Amino acid sequence: MTSPSQIIIHRPGSLGELHKHVSGKVLIVTDPGIVEAGHVDRAAALLEDVVVFDQVRENPTESDVAQCAQFARVTSPDCIVGLGGGSSMDTAKGALFLLSGGGVMSDYQGHGKAKGPMLPFIAIPTTAGTGSECQSYAVLCRDGSHEKMACGDPRAMAKVVILDPELTESMPLQVARLTALDALSHSLESAVSNNGTDKSRGLSFQAFGSIEPVIELILKGEGSLEDRNRMLVGSAFAGSAIEASMLGAAHAAANPLTAHFDVVHGHAVMSMLPSVMRWNARVVGCVYDELKPGLIDWVESLYELAELPPVEVPSEMIAQLATEAAKQWTGQFNPRPLAVMDFEGLYRRAFGES
């Protein structure tokens, strides 16, 4: 598996090849759970000169990234390895921006605002979901809020991606479920994005083709090493598809749910995805049929298979959620446009109101 600017290695045990792709002092950016799982020790044992920043937090903020960048300034690495879930990779990517150009992360919001060359970046996901390893964007939160900020530049793309399904064994079942559903949603939203191209749709279809045969086993906690490998590859393909085409209204509607009710991203997206797909079917139903007959009902059935509880949304909050969803950048790429009142309708349908 290759892309023009990345080397992607995908096989069980491929973490053992890390030393072939780095040189000099290596900074590993990770979180305490990944240290506890033993993955950092395994990676560090392969390297001669290594320092570890293990303070990554979920939904990293501007300040979290600044802290990581400061650690890097003090330790002066020659390359950076993001080892963990999307939060580790986003923190590492954010630090690349600050190290190369200074300032604060909000200076880089948007696309192509990096000010200089960046250190080589190697991405090693330990979850199969975000696809961050194949994206040039660091998705971060503004300090003091859950407001998402996307900072992207081609120079922030990982030079090497190591997909080792042995690393995903340590994921708790609920994390495996929610990240798998997020990856599925990435393949489905990017497949119908109004910003898509033949190439991006090809990536979305490849992602779906890799994920669809194994996701039920993953959700049941019965996935084999090979099944988890397929999930990792599918998640990476979906990440590449997002890079080329962006997402849609399920992500736009999910972000306010995470912001107000702390609903985990994959859960929030999944609670909205079937409603958004029914809304979209009028214009892209043929694409859904091409992906899988009965696709929307099947997606809906996965919510139960993953044993996700219903998201509790007070009806008096729906107008505010809809206003916020309509402002989300990602919503503009939805194939059927939505106004605030349309988002209200989606929320009411998703949460069982008429």
Chain residues that interact with Fe ion, rule: CB under 5 A:
182
In the complex, the smallest distance separating the C-beta of residue 189 from Fe ion, rounded to whole angstroms, is 8
In the complex, the smallest distance separating the C-beta of residue 352 from Fe ion, rounded to whole angstroms, is 23
- The phi, psi pair for 117, rounded to 5°, reads -65, 150
In the complex, the smallest distance separating the C-beta of residue 254 from Fe ion, rounded to whole angstroms, is 7
Beta carbons of 244 and 198 less than 8 angstroms apart: no
Q: How is 312-348 classified by DSSP, letter by letter?
A: ---GGGHHHHHHHHHT-GGGGG-SS---HHHHHHHHH
C-alpha distance from residue 189 to each of 140, 207, 283, 290 (Å): 21, 11, 13, 14
In the complex, the smallest distance separating the C-beta of residue 269 from Fe ion, rounded to whole angstroms, is 5
Q: What is the C-alpha to C-alpha distance for residues 69 and 104, in angstroms, rounded to an integer?
A: 10
Q: Which of 349, 351, 353, 328 is nearest to 338 (CA)?
A: 328
Q: Provide the sign of the torsion angle of the four alpha carbons 327, 245, 155, 136, taken in this order.
A: positive
Q: Which residue is nearest to Fe ion (CB)?
A: 182
Query: Given the complex with Fe ion, which of 67 and 245 has the nearer CB atom?
Result: 245
How far is CA 125 from its chain centroid? 10
In the complex, the smallest distance separating the C-beta of residue 16 from Fe ion, rounded to whole angstroms, is 30
In the complex, the smallest distance separating the C-beta of residue 90 from Fe ion, rounded to whole angstroms, is 12
C-alpha distance from residue 57 to each of 141, 148, 239, 255, 291 (Å): 11, 15, 21, 18, 36
Query: Given the complex with Fe ion, which of 182 and 344 has the nearer CB atom?
Result: 182
In the complex, the smallest distance separating the C-beta of residue 87 from Fe ion, rounded to whole angstroms, is 13
Q: What is the C-alpha to C-alpha distance for residues 277 and 223, in angstroms, rounded to an integer?
A: 27
Beta strands per DSSP E along 85-202: 110-111, 121-125, 137-141, 148-152, 160-163
Query: Given the complex with Fe ion, which of 72 and 338 has the nearer CB atom?
Result: 338
Query: Given the complex with Fe ion, which of 79 and 123 has the nearer CB atom?
Result: 123
Query: Given the complex with Fe ion, which of 230 and 251 has the nearer CB atom?
Result: 251
Query: Given the complex with Fe ion, which of 67 and 235 has the nearer CB atom?
Result: 235
Query: Given the complex with Fe ion, which of 160 and 338 has the nearer CB atom?
Result: 338
